[in-house]
Chain A
């Protein structure tokens, strides 16, 4: 496990407060948008797919898909043969 789940924030209360304040007076839809932008910004800051995948898996852990759906093992793109071959095309 490369994801750091030990305390790393110097002031957790201030972080949490800032996070909630970020959403003040926003509709649910706008909050969703702000969260999405924040995740993209932080993802780029972390910049390590191993850490990011571990964080995604941990975030999703224990949360089931819809009532009749089951969590499928799924294909891990990190180990699928064509991922990250370096010829994924021009980034536009």
Chain B
């Protein structure tokens, strides 16, 4: 019998901190046990940083909420120990259809090139995502989850943050060297600190109806502009696991949010889409508005904001939860490196820098989608309809039609942690890019590249050719990973190559299909420095120990500026 995550209640337990005479200090306190807080806490804990995770509630996401999880998010969850479970439970999809009135105007297919462990997207109710993460979290002895712990006070000191927490047993205080505020769009931490967010509120309302039914619809994303069953508005239909279907109705600004949630208003809308005879039950109903906004700064001293507390987007494009998990991925390793004394505190500034940049990109894309779906003027509506009408026959117009630009991980192209290219490379793996997956072989069995790249800094070098040349690259790799800044070495060998030498301490994979070489534009002796969050930090045509060490220093915030190496 599968756990009923929707109705799961976690127990409040009185902890030793509540009886301590002096407030107990922890390295990291994460506030908010949503996908972002859980991901941050798990990442830290599984790399040896003790974490306290506070949540003011004792249950998982109410309703399905975020349902689209992108490949990059699944790759991150894989590293956190629950990616496969998510993919197995989720509904993988890659076909979408766009309708104008009662006519199909085009079909798209997200199916990527093969050679990736994870699908482009899965649909999975947020309570499953949180449930699987929570179950992973309890496996980690150095991660303390504290339900019904509400933060009511926060004071920043020179070397810590003092936090007041309210519980069913009354208040207690604790201290944290760093606080991660992952407490959602209505962030209590943000309010306690007197901070706000800036952006644009959209004057439109949407109705979510999650419907349970045995349907004949294929597993596809269907988007209607101005359909006959819901004139002048848009509708989105999407499949989730357990025979649940997400239907998203645009209602317009004048809709009454309370009235529109009543079953007698919702059922006729659903029947108009599904047909009078359809048998279904309502699983969850919600009416929402949204804003595209962000905090001016994601770092305030020892408090770091991540996910919805830091930025908000429209739901079109699945950029909320997916970008929040990327925040967690970016932040966790930096906190660990700073707390373990491996990097200066300034490394945390780069979290804010990189993720503010990413938030701007997400806000730009989601604002553009919203402006297409909800035109703000008559002429905007005319151009929108013109693009839709042309899209039926003209390929170019399909690229203009915007029913959501689905989340892609941000290329951190202007990050101060990057070392600019000095050599010429083709392809997408520029400094700042998230590493792409590829099929490899290791020790005679098939595998994937990405599991060899996360967690630590990795120096990846490519060798192809004579044994002596391979041995030379291996020797240099060993020298690099023995430097002051810890890193590990990964030797990628051309197809059919093997090594006889003792490669103690160096992982070796075989690029049996030439996929790694193609996607990373590798030639013999090409070398990449890859961050713990699997973003490219630097790359060279010729592996050089000094160059790698310079780039490593820059990638942990020791050297300021992109080119000030000395």
Picked from A37, A82, A83, A86, the residue with its CB within 8 Å of the CB of B389 is A37
Query: Complex Cα distance A39/B382, Å?
Result: 12
- Find out whether the CB atom of A33 lies under 8 angstroms from the CB atom of B364: no
Q: Which residues of B contact A40 (CB under 8 A)?
A: 383, 386-387, 390, 397, 400
Proximity bits, B386-405, A CB within 8 Å = 1, else 0 = 11011000101111111111
* Chain A residues whose C-beta falls within 8 Å of the C-beta of B408 in the assembled complex: 87-90
Residues from chain B with Cβ under 8 Å of A41 in the complex: 390, 394
- Chain B residue nearest to A29 in the complex (CB): B382
Assess whether A79 is interfacial by the CB under 8 Å rule.
no
Q: Classify chain B's interface size.
A: 35 or more
- Min CB gap A84→B, angstroms: 10
A49 nearest CB across to chain B (Å): 13
Q: Is B425 an interface residue (CB 8 A)?
A: no
Residues in A neighbouring B406, C-beta threshold 8 A: 89-90, 92
Determine whether the beta carbon of A85 is less than 8 Å from that of B96. Answer: no
> Are A82 and B411 closer than 8 Å at their CB atoms?
no
**Nearest chain-A residue to B361 (Cβ)?**
A82
| Complex interface bits, B279-314 against A, C-beta within 8 A gives 1, otherwise 0 | 000000000000000000000000000000000000
* Bound CA span A89–B365, Å: 8
Residue of B nearest to A47 (CB): B396
Indicate if A50 sits at the interface (CB-CB under 8 A).
no
Q: Report the bound CA distance from A88 to B367 in whole Å.
A: 12
- Kindly state the separation between the CA atoms of A86 and B410 in the bound complex, as whole angstroms: 9
One of B319, B382, B396 near A36 (C-beta < 8 A) = B382
Interface residues of A in 16-38 (CB under 8 A from B): 32-33, 36-37
B382 contacts A32, C-beta separation under 8 Å? yes
What residues of A have a CB within 8 angstroms of the CB of B401 in the complex?
92
Which residues of chain B are within 8 angstroms of A37 by Cβ–Cβ distance?
386, 389-390
Nearest residue (CB) in B for A91 is B399
- Least Cβ distance of A37 to chain B in Å? 4
Q: A82-B361, A85-B361 are in contact. Are A90 and B382 (CB under 8 A)?
A: no
With both chains docked as a complex, state the minimum distance between the C-beta of B184 and any C-beta of chain A, in angstroms. Answer: 24
- Cα(A86)–Cα(B387), bound, Å: 22
Residue in A closest to B98 when the chains form the complex, CB atoms: A92
Whole-angstrom distance between the alpha carbons of A87 and B408 in the complex? 6
On whether the beta carbons of B361 and A36 are closer than 8 Å, the reply is no
- A62 interface residue (CB < 8 Å to B): no
Contacts of A91 in B (CB 8 A): 398-399, 405
Q: At the interface, is chain B mostly helix, strand, loop or mixed? A: mixed
| Cα(A91)–Cα(B497), bound, Å | 39
Assess the B382–A87 pair: CB atoms within 8 A: no
Q: Are A87 and B361 in contact (CB under 8 A)?
A: yes
Q: Which of B364, B365, B398, B405 has the largest number of chain A CB atoms within 10 A?
A: B364
* Among candidates A32, A81, A92, residue contacting B414 with C-beta atoms closer than 8 Å: A81
Chain B residues whose C-beta falls within 8 Å of the C-beta of A81 in the assembled complex: 357, 360, 414
Please tell me if B409 contacts chain A, counting CB pairs below 8 Å.
yes
Encoded as 1 (CB less than 8 Å from any B CB) or 0, chain A from 54 to 83 comes to 000000000000000000000000001111
**Closest chain A residue, CB of each to CB of B411:** A87
B407 touches A (CB below 8 Å)? yes
Residues of B within 8 A of A87 (CB): 361, 408-411
Flag if A89 contacts B405 (CB, 8 Å). yes
Q: Which residues from chain A contact B98 at a C-beta distance below 8 Å?
A: 92
Q: How far is the CA of A85 from the CA of B397 in the complex (A)?
A: 21
- In this complex, the member of A82, A85, A89, A91 whose beta carbon has the largest number of chain B beta carbons within 10 angstroms is A89
Q: Is B397 a contact partner of A33 (Cβ separation < 8 A)?
A: no
| B413 on interface, CB distance cutoff 8 Å | yes
Q: Mark B257-284, 1 if CB is under 8 A from A, else 0.
A: 0000000000000000000000000000
**CA–CA, A92 to B319, complex, Å?**
15
- Give every chain A residue within 8 A of B361 (Cβ-Cβ): 82, 85, 87-88
* A82 with B382, Cβ < 8 A, contacts A40-B397, A44-B396 known: no
Q: Are B411 and A90 in contact (CB under 8 A)?
A: no
Residue of A nearest to B121 (CB): A90
| Residue B110 lies at the interface, judged by CB distance under 8 Å to chain A | yes
User: Other CB < 8 Å A-B pairs besides A82-B360, A91-B399, 19 of them?
Assistant: A33-B385, A40-B383, A40-B387, A44-B394, A44-B396, A81-B360, A83-B364, A85-B413, A87-B409, A88-B364, A88-B365, A89-B406, A89-B408, A90-B110, A90-B120, A91-B398, A92-B108, A92-B402, A92-B403
Task: Provide a sorted-by-A list of 26 A–B residue pairs whose CB atoms are within 8 angstroms.
Answer: A32-B382, A36-B385, A37-B390, A39-B383, A40-B386, A40-B397, A41-B394, A44-B396, A80-B364, A85-B361, A85-B411, A85-B413, A86-B411, A87-B361, A88-B364, A89-B317, A89-B405, A89-B407, A90-B406, A90-B408, A91-B398, A91-B399, A92-B108, A92-B401, A92-B402, A92-B403
* Nearest 6 CB-CB pairings of A with B: A89-B405, A36-B386, A44-B396, A82-B361, A37-B386, A82-B360
